Amino acid sequence: MASAEVKVAFVSNHNGTTLTEVSLGSFLAPVCFLSRGLFLIVFHLGKGVLPFSWGVHLLLDFTTLIMPLVLSCTVLSDILHYVIIGIAVVDFVVLYLLYKNRKHPYQGSLRRFVQSRVESNLVPFVTVFRVLVNVKTAISILAVDFSVFPRRYAKTETYGTGVMDFGVGAYVMANALVCPEARGKNIQGSKITHVFKQVISVWPLVLLGFVRLASVKSSGYHEHVTEYGVHWNFFFTLAIVKVVASSLLAVFPVNSSWLLALLIGGTYQVVLETTDLKSFLIYNNERSGFLQANREGIFSVVGYIAIYMAGVQVGHYLMQSRNLVKDWIRVIRNLLLSSFGLFCALYVCQISTEPVSRRMANLSFCVWTVAQALLFLSCISIADILLLFSKAVSNFSFVSVSWCPYQNKKSLTDEKMKKSMDALCLVQSVNRNQLLYFLLANLMTGLTNVLVNTLNSSDVLAVSVLLSYMFMNSLVIFILHINKITIKFW
* pLDDT reported for residue 368: 98
Q: Quick one: average pLDDT of 330-334?
A: 97
Q: In whole angstroms, what is the distance from residue 182 CA to residue 185 CA?
A: 8
Q: Quick one: average pLDDT of 93-112?
A: 81
Beta strands in 267-412 (DSSP E): 404-405
Backbone φ, ψ for residue 159 (5° rounding) = -125, 155
Label the pairing between strands 404-405 and 118-119: antiparallel
Q: Give the CA dihedral 82, 88, 94, 100, nearest 10 degrees.
A: -120
User: 472 versus 1: which is more confidently predicted?
Assistant: 472
The pLDDT of residue 222 is above 80: no
User: 190 versus 362: which is more confidently predicted?
Assistant: 362
- Listed by start position, the domains of the chain span 4-482
Number of CB atoms found within 10 A of residue 225's CB: 15
The pLDDT of residue 243 is above 70: yes
Q: Quick one: average pLDDT of 420-438?
A: 94
The pLDDT of residue 427 is above 70: yes
In eight-state DSSP terms, residue 254 is G
How high does pLDDT run on average in the chain?
92
pLDDT tens readout for residues 54-99: 999 999 999 999 999 999 999 999 999 999 999 999 999 999 999 8
Kindly list the distances between the CA atom of residue 333 and the CA atoms of 121, 341, 374, 382, 416, in Å, as whole numbers in the listed order: 21, 12, 11, 10, 35
* pLDDT reported for residue 414: 75
* pLDDT reported for residue 189: 67
Give the burial class of 408: count Cβ atoms within 10 A of its Cβ; 0-12 exposed, 13-18 middle, 19 or more buried. exposed
Residues 6+ apart with CB under 8 A from 487: 433, 436, 480
Residues 6+ apart with CB under 8 A from 470: 62, 66, 70, 135, 138, 139
The 3-state DSSP composition of the chain as helix, strand, coil percent (nearest 5) reads: 70, 0, 25
The pLDDT of residue 412 is above 80: no
Query: At 119, which helix (H) or strand (E)?
Result: strand 118-119
Q: In whole angstroms, what is the distance from residue 307 CA to residue 374 CA?
A: 12
Task: Please name which of 125, 87, 183, 130 lies closest in space to residue 388, comparing C-alpha atoms.
Answer: 125
pLDDT tens readout for residues 154-168: 999 999 999 999 999
Q: Quick one: average pLDDT of 399-412?
A: 81
Q: How confident is the model at residue 409 (pLDDT cuts 50, 70, 90)?
A: low
The pLDDT of residue 105 is above 90: no
Q: In whole angstroms, what is the distance from residue 157 CA to residue 57 CA?
A: 40
Q: What is the pTM of this model?
A: 0.95
Share of the chain above pLDDT 70, in %: 96
The pLDDT of residue 410 is above 90: no
Backbone φ, ψ for residue 420 (5° rounding) = -65, -45
Q: How confident is the model at residue 107 (pLDDT cuts 50, 70, 90)?
A: low
Instruction: Quote the distance between the C-alpha of residue 245 and its chain's center.
Output: 19
Instruction: Quote the distance between the C-alpha of residue 109 and its chain's center.
Output: 34
The pLDDT of residue 1 is above 60: no
User: 400 versus 285: which is more confidently predicted?
Assistant: 400
Kindly list the distances between the CA atom of residue 444 and the CA atoms of 221, 391, 452, 476, in Å, as whole numbers in the listed order: 13, 38, 12, 12
Q: How confident is the model at residue 108 (pLDDT cuts 50, 70, 90)?
A: low
pLDDT tens readout for residues 270-325: 999 999 999 999 988 888 889 999 999 999 999 999 999 999 999 999 999 898 99
User: Is the bond leading into 51 cis (omega within 30 degrees of zero)?
Assistant: yes
